Amino acid sequence: MNRIIKIVLLDILKNKIVVSYALILALLSWGSFMLEDNTAKGLLTILNVILFTVPLVSILFSTIYIYNSSEFIELLLSQPIKRKKIWISLFAGLSIAMFLAFFLGAGIPLLLNAPGMAGLMMLLSGSLISIVFVSLAFLSCILTRDKAKGIGLAILFWMYFAILFDALVLFLLFQFAEYPIEEAMVGITASSPIDLARIQILLHLDQSAMMGYTGAIFKDFFGTAIGLLVSFVLLVLWIAVPFLISIRKFDRKDL
Amino acid sequence: MITLKNINKKFGRLQVLQDVNLEFKAGECIALIGPNGCGKTTLIKSILGMVLPDSGDILLHDESVLKKFEYRNTIGYMPQIGRYPDNMTISQIIEMIKQIRNSKKELDEDLIKAFKLDKMSDKQMRTLSGGTTQKVSATLAFLFNPDVLILDEPTAGLDPLAAEILKEKIIKEKNKGKLILITSHLLSELDEMITQIIFMQDGKVHFHKTIKDLLESTGETKISKSIATILKEKQHEQNN
């Protein structure tokens, strides 16, 4: 393994915040499975917790960690290391750490209590969502030098995707209730990583029946193998695009 | 050894380096002086690739260093204000840089002993005083026996004893035929070390002379006095 990734990873794992994050996830997951009488209900509870907390912790922790690593980055820059390698190693280190925390915290109870397709889907989407928000953290860090602004931007990203986006979708649904917008909704969903993950998991829980006609359209599209592939490709794009923008900027930055 | 060709750099609207052309040869010890904000640190950071010039080229051994990184193997850099990860100890920092450089060359650990850093190697970086942090920076710059040493205000913040140790080390390395670039405001300290002097102002190189030429042209015996003479003459010209 690359030396810098190792240094970053060890530094993060020493940090007690990530460990407590994993513990809290574990507590929530085990708790939901024990409190609900069937796994589907348990999964739904976990789903809501995961889609709310995982993005928040990922983006906030990563943003603050990157700002706090500015000394480390500066130190490495005067050493014979490629600029891009420094940035990629930081990203890899943070992504691995957030993935590990999610996997150990929520992944293990999921695999033990809901070993089916739905559990696997939740594990996969949760991991991807963790990394998507690490990538968005890199974008907000590179957009501004000011730590307070950068962290503020990260919080805005999270608020937008976790809260505002749903409100916007609801607003659109009510405004255009008279029109056949179900298919357009499929397209709009792609513009939020959290909703992509939510729909994939809901479809595997067979809860889409509760979503009426829109649910049926969603099932027609996202329920197929191609739909599944498309939504995962979209999630990967949500990781790649913000990070690629940030690495381009980092390569040209004066430090 | 190092050649700078027509370097220009703007920070926003502020022109920090304006058409800088310089040449440094091995075995020289060059002082880069000038008022605050004249572009000394930006010039140094351009050589290190931390600041990317808008135009122009920087050559090391006749090869462009822009957008490259391997060349930094031959450079030791001591920053003006060393910033290190807070929760690492002195020995962890040194160990980490060793791992990253992965150098097979013999390490130069003279300064670790001279500064007695080995006796406090378990201290965390955030607990260190400014001077001790400078000592760590100096140690790291000299550690890998680089051919080029770039020292940004090396003695600022060091106590007289440590400054003397560092000065002796610089002279020793110069005599080994290394290129040494120093920026400093303490002209009196430079007397015994340097062979050439570069005076910068407002992002431009004002003059680049050997010490001998400088002293002869002004008729002084000390660098500080001859610089003062030049500055006075210049002020005089401007007033007329």
Render pLDDT for B161-218 as a digit per residue (tens, 0 to 9): 999 999 999 999 999 999 999 998 777 777 778 889 998 888 889 888 888 888 888 8
> Residue A216 falls within a domain, yes or no?
no
pLDDT, position A214: 66
Q: Measured between alpha carbons, how far is B233 from B230 in angstroms, rounded to an integer?
A: 5
> Residue A70 falls within a domain, yes or no?
yes
Scan residues 55-74 of B and list those with Cβ closer than 8 Å to A. Answer: 69-73
Quote the DSSP letter at residue A160: I
> Residue A64 falls within a domain, yes or no?
yes
- The residue of chain B nearest to residue A83, with distances taken between CA atoms, is B69
> Residue A232 falls within a domain, yes or no?
no
Q: Which of A168 and A220 is assigned the larger pLDDT? A: A168
pLDDT, position A209: 59
In chain B, domain spans = 2-76+147-239
pLDDT, position A236: 94
- Average model confidence (pLDDT) for chain B? 88
> Which H helix or E strand runs over A223?
none
φ, ψ (nearest 5 deg) of residue A252: -110, 10
- Gyration radius (Cα) of chain A, Å: 19
A13 token code pair: 């794992």
For the segment B70-90, what is each residue's pLDDT rounded down to a tens digit? Answer: 899 999 999 988 888 888 899
Say how many domains are in chain A: 1
Q: How many CA atoms lie within 13 A of B53 on its CB side?
A: 28
> Residue A225 falls within a domain, yes or no?
no
pLDDT, position B230: 82
Chain length of chain A: 255
In this structure, which amino acid lies at residue A235? L
Interface contact A75-B97, CB threshold 8 A: yes
> Residue A175 falls within a domain, yes or no?
no
Count of beta carbons in the 10 Å neighbourhood of residue B48: 20
pLDDT, position B194: 87
Chain length of chain B: 240
φ, ψ (nearest 5 deg) of residue B10: -120, 135
Mind telling me how many Å the CA of A79 is from chain B's nearest CA? Answer: 6
pLDDT, position A240: 96
pLDDT, position A136: 96
**B208, β-bridge pairs:** B198
Q: Measured between alpha carbons, how far is A66 from B20 in angstroms, rounded to an integer?
A: 34
Q: Measured between alpha carbons, how far is B24 from A175 in angstroms, rounded to an integer?
A: 70
Assigned CATH for B2-76+147-239: 3.40.50.300
Residue B124: burial class (beta carbons within 10 Å; 0-12, 13-18, 19+):
middle
Count of beta carbons in the 10 Å neighbourhood of residue A124: 16
- Gyration radius (Cα) of chain B, Å: 18
Quote the DSSP letter at residue B100: H
B38 token code pair: 């004249």
pLDDT, position B223: 82
Stretch A104-115: mean pLDDT, rounded? 90
Interface test with A, best of B41, B66, B70, B83 (most A CBs within 10 A): B83
- The residue of chain B nearest to residue A250, with distances taken between CA atoms, is B50
Scan residues 7-26 of A and list those with Cβ closer than 8 Å to B. Answer: 7, 11
For the segment B129-144, what is each residue's pLDDT rounded down to a tens digit? Answer: 989 999 999 999 999 9
- Residue B49 near chain A (CB below 8 Å): yes
> Residue A72 falls within a domain, yes or no?
yes
φ, ψ (nearest 5 deg) of residue A133: -80, -25
Mind telling me how many Å the CA of B87 is from chain A's nearest CA? Answer: 9
> Residue A247 falls within a domain, yes or no?
yes
Quote the DSSP letter at residue B106: P
3-state DSSP of B129-182: CHHHHHHHHHHHHHCCCCCEEEEECCCCCCCHHHHHHHHHHHHHHHHCCCEEEE
Q: Which of B102 and A128 is assigned the larger pLDDT? A: A128
pLDDT band for position A58 (50/70/90)?
Answer: very high
Stretch B103-126: mean pLDDT, rounded? 88
Interface contact A79-B97, CB threshold 8 A: yes
ipTM of the prediction: 0.84
pLDDT band for position A212 (50/70/90)?
Answer: low
pLDDT band for position A146 (50/70/90)?
Answer: very high
pLDDT, position A21: 94
Stretch A104-113: mean pLDDT, rounded? 91
Which residues from chain B sit within 8 angstroms of residue A79, using beta carbons? 72, 97, 100-101
Q: Of B11, B48, B52, which has the smallest distance from its Cβ to A78's Cβ?
A: B48
φ, ψ (nearest 5 deg) of residue A162: -85, -30
B240 token code pair: 């007329």
Q: For residue A1, is pLDDT > 60? A: no
Q: Are B167 and B189 in contact (CB under 8 A)?
A: yes
